[in-house]
């Protein structure tokens, strides 16, 4: 019986305190801040890059990008392409190599259109694909491009820019 009395007393006190806060308290909860779609996104700063090599034959059969950060990695990647000679020597303390591969899709060429830094480093990749009339005529093609760029702590992302090309006459 004593426990019930104590429990009831505590409950009554809690209700009274809650009612006082509700009546006299000036507590406001701020509305959550939702970013506006109209707010401008940070403008990207152009990043210079140098093309090392490009070609139409590689042993990479899927659309993939590689970030190369050592000479050993570059030597291995070089073997996956139809590039001639030994891989160039790169200062990997200040630079990295981006390997961009189109894979075994019917694609006539792949290239880096631009690289920009904002909240991420975005690599814009142009994929030249044949129009419908010649889509089946390009086979055994696996284009690639390797570029050198200064290193960055920013996360990397890419944006593919598909373009259609006409069949060669």
The phi and psi torsions of 76 (rounded to 5 degrees) equal: -65, -45
The phi and psi torsions of 142 (rounded to 5 degrees) equal: -145, 75
75 Cα distance to chain centroid: 25
Q: pTM, whole model, 2 decimals?
A: 0.70
The pLDDT of residue 131 is: 73
3-state secondary structure of 58: strand
DSSP notation for 108-152: SEEEEEEEEESSSEEEEEEEEEE-GGGGGG--S---EEEEEEE--
Q: Domain limits of the chain?
A: 45-165
Give tens-digit pLDDT for 48-106. 999 999 998 888 888 899 999 999 999 999 999 999 999 999 999 999 999 999 988 76
């Amino acid at each position: 019986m004593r426990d019930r009395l104590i429990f009831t007393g505590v409950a009554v006190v809690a209700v009274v305190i809650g009612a006082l806060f509700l009546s006299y308290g000036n507590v406001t909860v701020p509305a959550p801040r939702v970013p506006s779609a109209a707010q401008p996104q940070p403008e990207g700063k152009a990043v210079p890059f140098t093309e090392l090599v490009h070609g139409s034959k590689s042993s990479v059969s899927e659309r993939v990008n590689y970030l190369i950060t050592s000479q050993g990695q570059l030597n291995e990647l070089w073997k996956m392409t139809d590039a001639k000679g030994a891989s160039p020597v790169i200062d990997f303390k200040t630079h990295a190599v981006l390997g961009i591969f189109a894979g075994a899709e019917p694609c006539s060429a792949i290239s880096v259109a631009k690289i920009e830094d904002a909240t991420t480093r975005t690599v814009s990749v142009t994929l030249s694909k044949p129009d419908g009339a010649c889509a089946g005529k390009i086979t055994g093609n696996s284009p690639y491009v390797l570029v050198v760029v200064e290193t960055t702590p920013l996360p990397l992302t890419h944006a593919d820019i598909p373009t259609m090309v006409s069949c060669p006459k």
